[in-house]
Amino acid sequence: MITRRGAVVLATILFSGCGGGANFGSDDVAGQKALRDATSPVWVTGRDAASLYRLEPSQGTVAATIPVGGLLNAVAVGEGAPWVANSDDNTVSRVDPQTNRVVATIDVGNNPLSITVGGGFVWTGNFSDDTVSATTRRRTNRSA
């Protein structure tokens, strides 16, 4: 178990990207229980930089590989869906967690590198133009 500044790594998930294989493991009893009892998927961007992966920790599987866009930098979950920042095309994509498909692509600022969800908005930090975009599910967009 690794502890750093109060955070504890309970488990490590190694997956082979496009191949769909996963190796879920933990040397810690609490980590093994956390993986076994997980009820929500884990969403991660892959090394191929164009896909979002839906991991199911309780099953130890990569449940879906979702093509999203170019150069995915970050993913956040909230407002009922995973949202992905696409740096190459300056957009945010909303993925339907029921169908594992992109259901909306929304223009944001230049080169979104970070993303978070809060206060009813999806927020992106846009590196190239030093802006923050606040996007709602209704596809409106405001930058600050």
Mean pLDDT of the chain: 76
pLDDT reading at 51 higher than 70: yes
Quick one: pLDDT at residue 141? 45
CA distance 142 to 131: 10
The confidence band for 1, taking pLDDT boundaries of 50, 70 and 90, is very low
Q: Who wins on pLDDT, 23 or 114? A: 114
Q: Which fold has domain 69-144?
A: Thrombin, subunit H (2.40.10)
> Which residue from 77, 79, 84, 39 is spatially nearest to 58, judged by alpha carbons?
39
pLDDT for 131 beyond 80: yes
* Burial class for 61, CB neighbours closer than 10 Å (0-12, 13-18, 19+): middle
> Tens digit of pLDDT for each residue in 54-64?
888 777 778 89
> Is residue 100 over pLDDT 90?
yes
Query: Looking at residue 102, what is its pLDDT?
Result: 94
Q: 38-42, 50-54, 63-67, 92-96: which range is least confident on average?
A: 38-42
Asked if pLDDT for residue 40 goes beyond 60, the answer is yes
> Tell me, what's the pLDDT at 105?
92
Structural domain boundaries in the chain:
1-67, 69-144
Predicted pLDDT at 91: 92
CB 10 within 8 Å of CB 27: no
Reply yes or no on whether the pLDDT at 47 is more than 80: no
| All residues at 6 or more sequence positions from 72 whose CB lies less than 8 Å from its CB, including other chains | 45, 46, 49, 50, 51, 52, 84, 85, 86, 87
Instruction: Please give the residue that has the higher pLDDT: either 114 or 16.
Output: 114
pLDDT on residue 83: 93
